[in-house]
Structure 1
Amino acid sequence: GCDLVDTYRAAVRAAEWVRSHRAPALLHLRMVRLLGHAGSDAEVGYRTRAEITADYQRDPLLRTAEILVASGTVTPEDVIERYEAMRAEVAKAAEEVVDEPGLGDAAQVMAPLAPRHPHLVSRGAARTADAEARRAAFGDRLPEQEGPLTLAQSINRALVDLCASRPEVMVFGEDVARKGGVYGVTRGLQRRFGGARVFDTPLDEQSILGLALGAGLSGLLPVPEIQYLAYLHNAEDQLRGEAATLRFFSQGRYRNPMVVRVAGLAYQKGFGGHFHNDNSVAVLRDIPGLVVAAPARPDDAAAMLRTCVAAAESDGSVCVFLEPIALYHTRDLHAEGDEGWLAPYPPPVAPHVPVGTGRVYGDGSDLTLVTFGNGVRMSLRVARRLAAGGVRARVLDLRWLAPLPVADLLREADATGRVLVVDETRRAGGVSEGLLAALADAGFAGRAARVTSEDSFIPLGPAAQHVLLSEADIEQAAGLLLQP
């Protein structure tokens, strides 16, 4: 690894082997580390002088200079002249940087984190393929003509619309292509748009998000899928330490936009346990600048996905699109067969859902239920039962977990004077903490409480119901909050 010629020859042999065997090869290069790991790392404390000197003799820079001189490409004087010229260039750049003004306040420090251009996002969310291209993608019947759809169907149609209108969009992940996803959300995408844009990946979340990082930086718009929320934690630093920090540390010079679809949250029946029913989003809400969408209704899901893609395009946003597994194929709301959870598909020209805005159901004046995800359906069901007892409640669906729709929260809290946060995540580190803090920071004078799932992993089978938030829990907490 320290000899440029030997390294090149080894790389050529490896490439030839890969081409002839149609298999990957690992190129193992032995390098040298000059100087310690940090300023406080004094190598003389644990290495002999002979070892340190031997490493300097293997310096790749000096070895390359030797090769160039020995081949007659340059003279020793040329090497020294080039070295000194580079030294002068670096010194000049350092002097210029020293004279630049420093960052003056928190706003200047944070400016590259999450630039927001709502008018550009609104325009981008309405971007659509022409009529002929949409017909080619969807066939004879456009999704807005299909009638009410499930959450999974609505996300699928939105992905088709996005791929048809944006050739730079790529959809990839575990089982998303040939199989169409574990829950059928990406079904038909590869057939419509080809294997170069819709493809399966190895079962490795770090590789999936790593590929998204490179694709976004290269001018593409990746929409990777993490099959389950619990598996995101294997690769979460790809978001925290890489994707979300690129704009920050480059002062906005570079960006890697992406929309990471994640199937998650709890209440999945049939199979589950912790790894298929994870309900913790604290690690996502803690990343500065990250946009976290959590649609519950089918129509919101399509509109919010388009908003995320538009924000990635215009602002370079890194978005996580959290899809509630248990609601993917839910059809009914209050009674079996009522199909109250279905919704028509909103075409791209429909009004978009701005980042950080909620949705209100009802105009009750007695109680405000603040929730998201699976909690929306549970809260709407509880609100109906409360109404039968004479209590008029309204439901605020947050829709966005980062940034939170604080303005909507305060408005709906003031409308009733009583707020119950219905949080399906855990009590410690859950979404409810940020909501109650926002109410306190704003000086909310009414009454506020929260009801959450337990601080527990999710067990298999019926035991999960012992630790997950239930409608009975919500109803009981509402009753306590309404007491004089």
Structure 2
Amino acid sequence: MSVQEASSRDPVVTEDTRRLNMIEAINEALDIMLARDPGVVIMGEDVGYFGGVFRATAGLQEKHGKTRVFDTPISECGIIGVAVGMGAYGLRPVPEIQFADYIYPGLDQLISEAARLRYRSAGEYIAPMTVRSPFGGGIFGGQTHSQSPEAIFAHVAGLKTVIPSTPHDAKGLLIAAIEDNDPVIFFEPKRIYNGPFSGYYDKPVEPWKKHRDSQVPEGYYKIPLGKARIVQEGEAMTVLTYGTMVHVAEAVCAAKGVDAEILDLRTLVPLDIQAIEKSVRKTGRCLIVHEATRTAGFGAELSALVTERCFYHLEAPVDRVTGFDTPYPHSLEWAYFPGPVRIGEAIDKLLKD
């Protein structure tokens, strides 16, 4: 499985796979791409000597040199702006924004420059950059270290938005993103960097080292952007989710004994409409789960798409379980997340209708 595109199903254990957590898988993907492509450069705050605040770039500067992996000033606008120029020049920059909450000063560069460069230059210039950033809550980081702004970027034509939920997918999707000729926002759910957590949040279901999705193939492989993963097949309802909430939804459905089909979207843009439509037409019910706030969240777009395309197959209204429409509550973050109670109530409601 060294040079191929991975399937949309769970990884198969072979002699060529190892158990990694998500941080290790991301580090390995970056290492592989630095070795394969001399145009790949990694930059950001503390990504060089220190190896990143979450250690995702640990050891890469020592191995590949200070011109390939280097620290930047604390200037997100500058980091992203330089990356746009690098991409137009012919490099493949992979800037890291230390937390997704810090990305807002760089929005103008992303929206007005990176997203439009290919179109406004009639294809003469491109911005093949992959902006990596930890996102979401779960580490008691407070309001400025816990936000989930994915809907902002999914709204911008010209940007691609990717969110892995497993080490296997993180490595394959990151390699695909770096090789893509368009700008990619690569959000990494930091709450599951080291392992998936149950719907009850306080204890791991099991460490990544024992989890089935921790099986990561050796060497180079990629997962095509725009392909959802079927976490489990089912008949009772379809659950659409991504990132950390994949594991939460799976835990709740297992606890309730619900025969749900769970789709891990993996990429919000491009979105695997075909997989969504096929699943909802089969089950007749759809539940959407995401951590971000409800109003204008990506779940609203999913709900509209499902209603437009599957209306005559629906046996109940599409439902959403999301974060609340409030500033991120530091002391109450576990109540803020979709969890067993709210997801369970939504499941009961859908099955009753």
- Normalising by the residue count of structure 2, what TM-score does the alignment of the two structures yield? 0.90
- Which of residues 79, 86, 92 in structure 2 aligns to 1:215? 86
2:104 paired residue number: 233
- Which of residues 225, 238, 251 in structure 2 aligns to 1:381? 251
| Greater helix content | 1
1:188 paired residue number: 59
User: In 1, Cα distance between the equivalents of 2:237 and 2:326?
Assistant: 29
Unmatched segments (≥5 aa) in structure 1: 1-122, 127-143
- Which of residues 230, 237, 253 in structure 2 aligns to 1:367? 237
Bigger Cα displacement from structure 2, 276-285 vs 164-173: 276-285
- Which of residues 250, 270, 285 in structure 1 aligns to 2:154? 285
In the alignment, is the contact (CA less than 8 A) between 2:154 and 2:269 conserved in 1?
yes
- Which of residues 356, 369, 384 in structure 1 aligns to 2:226? 356
Q: CA deviation at 1:465?
A: 2.3
User: In 2, Cα distance between the equivalents of 1:124 and 1:363?
Assistant: 24
1:421 paired residue number: 288
Q: CA deviation at 1:386?
A: 2.1
Show CA shifts across 1:106-133 (max 9, x none). Answer: xxxxxxxxxxxxxxxxx8979xxxxxxx
| Structure 1 residues 259 and 428, CA gap change in structure 2 (3 angstroms) | same
User: In 1, Cα distance between the equivalents of 2:28 and 2:174?
Assistant: 11
- Number of equivalent positions: 334
Instruction: For residue 469 of structure 1, give the secondary structure of its aligned residue in structure 2.
Output: coil
1:249 and 2:120 equivalent? yes
Show CA shifts across 1:400-427 (max 9, x none). Answer: 0112211111111112111101121111
1:168 and 2:39 equivalent? yes
Show CA shifts across 1:78-137 (max 9, x none). Answer: xxxxxxxxxxxxxxxxxxxxxxxxxxxxxxxxxxxxxxxxxxxxx8979xxxxxxxxxxx
1:339 paired residue number: 210
Instruction: For residue 275 of structure 1, give the secondary structure of its aligned residue in structure 2.
Output: coil
Instruction: For residue 296 of structure 1, give the secondary structure of its aligned residue in structure 2.
Output: coil
User: In 2, Cα distance between the equivalents of 1:158 and 1:443?
Assistant: 37
User: In 2, Cα distance between the equivalents of 1:343 and 1:124?
Assistant: 18
1:309 paired residue number: 178
| Structure 1 residues 435 and 307, CA gap change in structure 2 (3 angstroms) | same
* Higher RCO (CA-CA < 8 Å; seq separation 6+): 2
1:105 paired residue number: none
Show CA shifts across 1:28-49 (max 9, x none). Answer: xxxxxxxxxxxxxxxxxxxxxx
| Structure 1 residues 381 and 369, CA gap change in structure 2 (3 angstroms) | same
In the alignment, is the contact (CA less than 8 A) between 1:205 and 1:232 conserved in 2?
yes
| Structure 1 residues 332 and 182, CA gap change in structure 2 (3 angstroms) | same
Q: CA deviation at 1:145?
A: 5.8
User: In 1, Cα distance between the equivalents of 2:4 and 2:166?
Assistant: 22
Q: CA deviation at 1:235?
A: 1.1
1:329 paired residue number: 194
Runs of 4+ in 1 over 4 A off after TM superposition: 123-126, 331-334
Counterpart residue identity of residue 365, structure 1 = E
Show CA shifts across 1:164-213 (max 9, x none). Answer: 11111000101111111111111000011000010111111011001101
Q: CA deviation at 1:437?
A: 1.0
| Structure 1 residues 341 and 279, CA gap change in structure 2 (3 angstroms) | farther
Instruction: For residue 442 of structure 1, give the secondary structure of its aligned residue in structure 2.
Output: helix
| Structure 1 residues 124 and 368, CA gap change in structure 2 (3 angstroms) | closer
User: In 1, Cα distance between the equivalents of 2:92 and 2:133?
Assistant: 16
User: In 1, Cα distance between the equivalents of 2:84 and 2:345?
Assistant: 46
2:11 paired residue number: none
User: How does 1:439-450 map onto structure 2 within 5 Å?
Assistant: 439-445=306-312, 446=314, 447=316, 448-450=318-320
2:185 paired residue number: 320
Q: CA deviation at 1:477?
A: 0.8
RMSD of Structure 2 on Structure 1 (CA): 2.0
Show CA shifts across 1:31-86 (max 9, x none). Answer: xxxxxxxxxxxxxxxxxxxxxxxxxxxxxxxxxxxxxxxxxxxxxxxxxxxxxxxx
In the alignment, is the contact (CA less than 8 A) between 2:153 and 2:161 conserved in 1?
yes
- Which of residues 430, 433, 458 in structure 1 aligns to 2:297? 430
User: In 1, Cα distance between the equivalents of 2:56 and 2:220?
Assistant: 22
User: In 2, Cα distance between the equivalents of 1:323 and 1:335?
Assistant: 19
Larger Rg, first or second structure (1 or 2): 1
User: In 2, Cα distance between the equivalents of 1:257 and 1:380?
Assistant: 34
Instruction: For residue 144 of structure 2, give the secondary structure of its aligned residue in structure 1.
Output: helix
In the alignment, is the contact (CA less than 8 A) between 1:150 and 1:341 conserved in 2?
no
1:295 paired residue number: 164
Percent identity among equivalent residues? 34
Q: CA deviation at 1:428?
A: 0.7
Instruction: For residue 114 of structure 2, give the secondary structure of its aligned residue in structure 1.
Output: helix
1:273 paired residue number: 142
1:405 paired residue number: 272
In the alignment, is the contact (CA less than 8 A) between 2:227 and 2:265 conserved in 1?
yes
| Structure 1 residues 251 and 125, CA gap change in structure 2 (3 angstroms) | farther
User: In 2, Cα distance between the equivalents of 1:363 and 1:376?
Assistant: 14
| Structure 1 residues 223 and 466, CA gap change in structure 2 (3 angstroms) | same
Counterpart residue identity of residue 125, structure 2 = Y
Q: CA deviation at 1:247?
A: 1.2
Q: CA deviation at 1:342?
A: 5.1
Q: CA deviation at 1:256?
A: 2.0
Instruction: For residue 117 of structure 2, give the secondary structure of its aligned residue in structure 1.
Output: helix
Unmatched segments (≥5 aa) in structure 2: 7-14, 199-203
In the alignment, is the contact (CA less than 8 A) between 1:423 and 1:451 conserved in 2?
yes
